[in-house]
Structure 1
């Protein structure tokens, strides 16, 4: 079946907050079966998606979304690989996960999400950023390679690692401004919600 690619003129990437919970659920439920399997590293039921979405925004780490015309069309997650992190310091190793709706791919959304996650990781104490995906997930493999991740295939999965530079005083200041701006965007232009819990 041919997938129609939409012309995306602009997208906004911002941090997601607990108030975005329904938009996150709506997003995961909209993913086609292949995209959902790629995101969750295997098949997951609607009940599993609902359970994951219910806790995703309050779990350790941070999430960022790409919005097109007020709808969440791409999502990136940054999760610590060790327990005991805080919202501000995730520890030396963290894992990133990405998904972009099929009709909105090849519009720069994945690259913008990857750059935002890498920047957030760098400013939360992460030295090594890891990505893991199914070996057949071409979009994710291309995205990781484009950003300099060293990729290693192990059976049906591929893992990539990206060593991050240490933050500078200016980059820390810039990140704090970006976070404040993200919050202002979330309050001023809340995401559309279609799903009832």
Structure 2
């Protein structure tokens, strides 16, 4: 198993890229567990207020996967270490009336405490940005507290235009039109994430099969 060349290649890719997978309806419960595990300070940084458990449950329940895009980073136990949520708006902030040509995308991200400093937040942001670019969305928007050092670092690194007011920061990234290279880049990252997911699923199934039943 250790000498498998495919596993060695996957291990090298993991060192360079954090696998970011698009999430769907089947992941809703994983998302809920991820958000509920955030402490009060992490909830404040993610949502701008300290949401109670029932408010988080309502937020996760209302996510529409046919309209919004959600990305996640999973560990070996299929627990979400990070979640990035793209909500699409028109130029006036309306969600329902947005069309492809006049939309902006609002991005929110959370990372589990155990996964900090591993590039998870940056990987989620980059995945969201390339998806927006390939969807002909010209502006990626983030709103967060100015005290959120991680998001401020990501925003500055990406070259976002940042406006601060009353302890909050609005960050804007103007995206170029899609190109063959950007389309290929997104396809590669999604395929890599799917392969990583399949390897983890197979490993998990093998462990369950080899573990004696009590």
TM-score, normalised to structure 1, is: 0.80
1:109-148 residue pairs with structure 2 within 5 A? 109-148=120-159
2:56 alignment partner, SS class = helix
State how far apart, in whole Å, the 2-side matches of 1:109 and 1:177 are: 17
Q: What CA RMSD, in Å, does the superposition of the two structures yield over aligned residues?
A: 2.7
| Superposition deviation, residue 174 in structure 1 | 4.5
Kindly state the Cα deviation for residue 188 of structure 1 after the two structures are TM-superposed: 7.4
Q: Does 1:150 align with 2:157?
A: no
SS in 2 for 1:39: helix
Q: Work out which of the residue numbers 18, 21, 35 in structure 1 matches 2:28.
A: 21
Q: 1:59 to 1:136 in 2, by over 3 A?
A: farther
Give distance in 1, aligned partners of 2:101 and 2:81: 26
Moved more, 112-121 or 181-190: 181-190
Structure 1 residues 47-196: aligned runs within 5 Å: 47-58=54-65, 60-69=67-76, 70-82=78-90, 83=95, 84-85=97-98, 89=100, 91-176=102-187, 178-179=189-190
Distance 2:115 2:34 in 1: 13
Distance 1:179 1:90 in 2: 24
Query: More relative contact order in 1 or in 2 (CA 8 Å, sep 6+)?
Result: 1
Structure richer in helix, relative to its length: 2
Structure 2 length-normalised TM: 0.74
> Which stretches in structure 1 are left out of the alignment for 5+ residues?
1-7, 193-197
Could you tell me which runs of 5 or more consecutive residues in structure 2 were left unpaired when the two chains were aligned. Answer: 1-13, 205-214
CA-to-aligned-CA distance 1:20-73 (integer Å, 9 cap, x gap) = 000000000011111111111112110000011112253632010011222211
Question: How many residue pairs get matched?
Answer: 182
Task: Report the Cα distance in structure 1 between the residues aligned to 2:31 and 2:196, rounded to whole angstroms.
Answer: 16
**What secondary structure sits across from 1:172 in the alignment?**
helix
